[in-house]
Structures are given as C-alpha cells and as structure tokens.
Amino acid sequence: MNFDMAAEMLAGEGIETRTIRVCDDVAVGAPDRRDERRGIAGDVFVIKVAGGAAAELPSLEEVARVAAKAEANTRSMGVAVSPGSLPESGRPTFELGDDEIEIGMGAHGEKGVKRQKLSTADDITNQMMAAILRDLPYAKGDEVALLINNLGASTMFELLIVNRRLRQILEQEGITVYRSFVGSYLTSQEMAGFSISLMKLDPELKHYLDLPSTSFGFTSL
C-alpha cells in the first residue's frame, strides 16, 4: 500500500516508476504461485542490484528488467526462537514456548507459518536449506550470493554457526558461494532468529552486486 501511494505521488509530479514485488519467502505459497508469497530479507539483494543498475543503465525499463531478474533468482526462509515486540507497546507479536521455534517469519515480526520443537542449529539449517534449494531449483554448478540475516536479537557467533553448516551443504550440492553477507539487514525489535537468502548469479547480476555502495542498511566496497 505504501509503495503504491508513493508511486501515485510521484506520478502526480510527472515522475515515471516501475514496481517490482519481491516474493522470496519459500515458506509461504507454492513455487507455481509465487505472487502469493511475501518478501523477506532477499529484498536486500534485489534493492542492491536495482541500485547498481540505476547507476549505470540509461532507461527505467532496463533497470526494472535487471531488478526483476534478481528477484526471480532469489529465495529465502526465516526461523525464530523468540518473538519480536511492538515498539509502541512492547508487547510480543506472538507467543512462543521456550522449547519451540517458529518457521517462516515475516519481515516485520509477523507470525510464521508453522512451529516445531527446538532442535540444533545444524538440524534447523538443514531443513531450511532443503526448502530453499528445491524451490528455484538451485543446481550443481550454480554460483550464488549468500545472505545470513539476523532477525534482531541473534549474535554474530550464532549466525556464524549457521554459516558453517550452510557452507557444508552448498559444497555437498556443488554450489559455489561467490559472495556472502552475514549480519543485521532486515530486523524486528527483540526477535531472536535468522533468515537465509540465496541469489543465483550470472555475470550481469554479479556486476551490479559488486558495485560499491554505502548506506546505513547496506555497505559494500
């Protein structure tokens, strides 16, 4: 709704826009109904690539084409071990038992699609990667950009434990990590957990991903 309103305001000023919806969350909707999915941390890759394209390409149509390609090649999934909270009230966005995890979190702390008993980081990573890899699908010989995103209250140590297992899985699948990003990119207040995003790369997407950028949310030099 907010993006639609922004596009209408810009149109009123004579500025042309294009909308590229990010639908990277594999926990929601079937692969053949991606338009029903929501966008989570994979939008970081899409926005980065779109920004790089906008810096170099001569037309809005070309920028939209590159952004759409980035979106089509990105898949993500999140998991939380504690809920986020609403900044105004401090109330949790949902209830979660001490021995439970929530699968398929929304970008703003929304409740996931299912919950299960707490297990090891390796087991959870295995489960998430199985869903992500079969969805595009990713295949032996692919090169990917990897994003391990802190949902808000996880430590870098915990994220790196996930990274260790992720690298093992990708090596077993014959998938090469071209670049990796580990940290806080798309967060919700007090939510402990993480999301995994993979973007399948080609030379064009590599180029725009690699262009330097400096911002509060994403810096890459």
147 vs 163: CA distance, rounded Å: 9
Please tell me the predicted confidence (pLDDT) of residue 190. 87
Identify which of 122, 121, 124 has the alpha carbon closest to the alpha carbon of residue 112: 124
How far is Cα 175 from Cα 142, in angstroms, rounded to an integer?
A: 5
pLDDT of 31 = 86
Looking at the whole model, is its pTM more than 0.85? yes
108 is known as an active-site residue: yes
Output the CATH code of domain 21-210.
3.30.1180.20
Mean pLDDT by 10 residues, the chain (221 residues): 92 95 92 89 97 97 98 96 84 87 84 90 96 95 97 95 97 98 92 95 98 89 82
**SS3 of residue 99 by DSSP:** coil
Identify the active-site residue in 108, 111, 179, 207: 108
Domain boundaries defined on the chain = 21-210
| pLDDT for position 18 | 95
CB 196 within 8 A of CB 24: no
- Alpha-carbon gap, residue 53 to 204, rounded angstroms: 10
